[in-house]
Amino acid sequence: LRDRVVMVPQEGVLFSGTIADNVRMGRPEADDEELLAAFRRLGLSDWLGELYAGLDTQVGERGSALSVGERQLVTLVRAAIADPDLLVLDEATSAVDP
């Protein structure tokens, strides 16, 4: 059941490391091309390209180097890369700028 259902809360948890490291928590075997494809599917490739190091951007402890909205975007991509049967969003985009 855990592999089939993913929940994205309002304040998703990020770990110290890169954006790629954090997204791979959704599917550890995903390569960079799969990660980039997930960003494209969600319409976030432009946002990723604006970051100083793209997938290799350091997020800081608990995502402290990112805004709340940016942290939410990373957790959304992490959920998407997991490709769940059911995706539950609990105000997962409340701080994302339009």
Q: What are the tens digits of pLDDT across the range 71-91? A: 999 999 999 999 999 988 876
Phi-psi region of 52 (alpha: psi -120 to 50; beta: other; left: phi over 0): alpha
Distance CA(58)–CA(68), nearest Å, equals 15
Q: What is the pLDDT of residue 2?
A: 65
Q: How do the domains of the chain map onto residue ranges?
A: 5-89
Question: Dihedral of the CA atoms 66, 49, 15, 59 (nearest 10)?
Answer: -40
Distance CA(80)–CA(75), nearest Å, equals 9
Low-confidence ranges of the chain (pLDDT < 50): none
| Angle (nearest 5°) at CA 42 between 34 and 90 | 115
Q: What is the pLDDT of residue 4?
A: 86
Domain 5-89 listed as CATH 3.40.50.300: yes
pTM here is 0.87
Alpha-carbon Rg for the chain in angstroms: 12
